[in-house]
Structure 1
Amino acid sequence: MFIAQAFKFKHDLWRYIIGVIIVIAGVFIGQIPLTVALFMEIGVEEAVTLTEGQMMTALDSNYFLFLMLLSFAVALVFLFVAVKNVHKQTLVSLTTSREKIDWGRFWFAFGLVSIFIVLTTIGDYYSNPQDYQWNFDLIPFLILFVIAVVMVPLQTSFEEYFFRAYLMQGIGVLSRNRWLPLIITSVVFGGLHFFNPEVTKLGNIIMIYYIGTGFMLGIMALMDEGIELSLGFHAANNLLTALLVTADWTAFQTNSIFKDISEPSAGWDVLIPVLIIYPLFLFIMAKKYKWTDWKGKLFGKVEKPEPVHNDDFIY
């Protein structure tokens, strides 16, 4: 069982508190290069008063994207250091309940989401051409492509390993149930997006989408007993979004192929993914990987495994 694997390693509450502190320190250290770049570009007094949206326009978009994603990459390293040194836990056990990481699951989710995003983007472009502006510029796009392919998976991997793995396992072994880590990690994950520019533009209703995304990824991890699917899903979603479509009011303002110039509004666009598209993704994955016992895996108890006795040895 994915959560119960944490029992095999050092799982005291104080260790998780130290681990979270280490990760937060990694985030702040990772933000130093971006802060320094802003200070050098526009000065300290001006930089400290900028909103996130203004920061995006203060630097070249590719340069800003790289520096922004760098903080997640550094935080990922700090998280792995905490897992190895504070908990004495292996990366495989943090990732999956299987004997080794199933990259086939990662690529299935990545491909499924990629196909969906490409088809829906093309469909919307031809249905509403007035909402799009051709934004393609070869050299900036190629630079964006390299940055995105390398750095976006590090950003999404940090979020999945921290929320769907580290905190999911930690809260699960401490609370001895599955529903509490699902709720806490999903709400906190969605809540941290409250400071995104999209919230300012669309209003608080967009938080339904972010928190709903957290629940969908959490359900994926619990039902599949590992985070390979959520790793692939999240990586594809953010990568394709960065490469295909940008807008002046999104967290990723990039040299993408298209630019959305429509006036955004939050309504059914927020509810459709949560109520229709996400359940469809879960249905497809459930059929492919033969998920069963939904009640037990989402709401059941987390039992500490009994030691295995073999002659004079106890495992």
Structure 2
Amino acid sequence: MYIAQAYKGLSDSWRYVVGLIAIFFVWQFIGGIPLIIALLAKSDSLAVLGSGDMGVMADILGANNLLFFMLLTFVIGLIGLFAYVSIVHKQKITQLTTSRKKIDFKRVFFAFGIWALISTAFIFIDITLSPEDYEFNFNLGPFLVLAVIAVLMIPLQTSMEEYYMRGYMMQGLGILAQNRWVPLMVTSFLFGIMHIFNPEVAKLGYGILIFYIGTGFFLGILTLMDEGLELALGFHAANNLTAALLVTADWTAFQTNSLYRDISDPVLGWDVLVPVFVIYPILLYVFSKKYKWSNWKDRLTGDVPSKETFLALNNDNADVPNPS
């Protein structure tokens, strides 16, 4: 069981409480220092940072530089998360990632490939149906720089979110609540709320949170049904990478030198609801058939065994580190 992998490390409640706060601090505050320094070097005021105006920050730093420093906060956060898990919990990163003996990268690449194809298809269908809403934005030099930054760093950015929410937090809440539905509900709602300060929310309204919370539930279900993060890691990376490379807009969190620029006046519409209520259920069906998922109720809402029961059943007592 994926959640019970936490028992293979030091799983005291205080370690998770301190960890959630400490990792978040490293991610959001320590990780943001390079961006602050870069803005100070180019501007006399940090008021733009407080305003969250991505367009103005992109004008100051350049779109590619801004993207680099934004993604760097996640890279620093991921390093902090892995360090805390290894040092304080004495848990292997593999155990934070999956219930399998080793990380299944075939699952990562399968989820990445299927969602990259689907999301790219949706983008180009929309461009074909509404060409007046887009302008061709391709510029070879800046695009190549964008591609290098995006390919190298966006998977790390999305991995930080997955390891923090569907990994560390899900395991910690699961062994605390001794069930699966509490971590599924909490991490899914928190994942949505984490995006509340995105410029998309300011532009489209709080209704867009349906998409973010729905995506959180989808990724949480993937993790619990598949007993690991691999599918969620691949899906999330594909989602953000295709968005960064193909389409940008003045009102999105990613200001990039992408192929196209969305110049429409955005409204909250079907494109928010269709992925959550149509595409995600279809994908869950595809994944369930490929990986032969069963016993949905127990995997999503069932109990998490006690530490003693789990270790006895798995004969893993020798692998558990000594707190001293």
TM-score (norm 1): 0.96
Q: How does 1:1-315 map to 2 (within 5 A)?
A: 1-27=1-27, 28-44=29-45, 46-47=47-48, 49-53=50-54, 54-304=56-306, 305-307=310-312
**How far apart are the structure 1 equivalents of 2:45 and 2:311?**
57
Give the residue type in structure 1 aligned to 2:200: E
Distance 1:45 1:206, change over 3 A: closer
Distance 1:141 1:11, change over 3 A: same
**How far apart are the structure 1 equivalents of 2:252 and 2:60?**
15
**How far apart are the structure 1 equivalents of 2:293 and 2:259?**
38
Partner of 2:89: helix, strand, or coil? coil
**How far apart are the structure 2 equivalents of 1:303 and 1:140?**
52
CA deviations on 1:48-106 (whole Å, 9 max, x unpaired) are 55324333433200000000000000000000011001100001110000010000000
**How far apart are the structure 2 equivalents of 1:227 and 1:238?**
17
The structural deviation recorded for 1:45 is 5.4
Partner of 2:51: helix, strand, or coil? coil
Show structure 1 runs of 5+ residues with no match.
none
**How far apart are the structure 2 equivalents of 1:314 and 1:51?**
46
The structural deviation recorded for 1:22 is 2.3
Contact kept, 8 Å, 1:308 with 1:314, in 2: the verdict is no
Show structure 2 runs of 5+ residues with no match.
none
Contact kept, 8 Å, 2:249 with 2:255, in 1: the verdict is yes
Partner of 2:303: helix, strand, or coil? coil
Give the residue type in structure 2 aligned to 1:228: E
**How far apart are the structure 1 equivalents of 2:285 and 2:313?**
36
**How far apart are the structure 2 equivalents of 1:6 and 1:181?**
13
**How far apart are the structure 1 equivalents of 2:71 and 2:312?**
42
CA deviations on 1:204-248 (whole Å, 9 max, x unpaired) are 000010011100000000000000000000000000110001111
**How far apart are the structure 2 equivalents of 1:246 and 1:273?**
19
**How far apart are the structure 2 equivalents of 1:88 and 1:2?**
17
The structural deviation recorded for 1:29 is 0.8
**How far apart are the structure 1 equivalents of 2:64 and 2:270?**
32
**How far apart are the structure 1 equivalents of 2:163 and 2:125?**
33
Give the residue type in structure 2 aligned to 1:40: A
Give the residue type in structure 2 aligned to 1:251: A
Give the residue type in structure 1 aligned to 2:41: M
Partner of 2:290: helix, strand, or coil? helix
Contact kept, 8 Å, 1:199 with 1:206, in 2: the verdict is yes
The structural deviation recorded for 1:25 is 2.6
Q: CA RMSD in A?
A: 1.8
Partner of 1:259: helix, strand, or coil? strand
CA deviations on 1:9-66 (whole Å, 9 max, x unpaired) are 2111110122123212311111001011111211135445532433343320000000
Contact kept, 8 Å, 2:8 with 2:319, in 1: the verdict is no
Query: Percent same amino acid at aligned positions?
Result: 53
Give the residue type in structure 1 aligned to 2:8: K
| 4+ runs deviating over 2 angstroms | 44-58, 306-310
**How far apart are the structure 2 equivalents of 1:309 and 1:240?**
41
**How far apart are the structure 1 equivalents of 2:187 and 2:94?**
20
Contact kept, 8 Å, 1:198 with 1:250, in 2: the verdict is yes
How many pairs does the alignment contain? 314
Give the residue type in structure 2 aligned to 1:236: A
State which drifts further: 116-125 or 204-213. 116-125
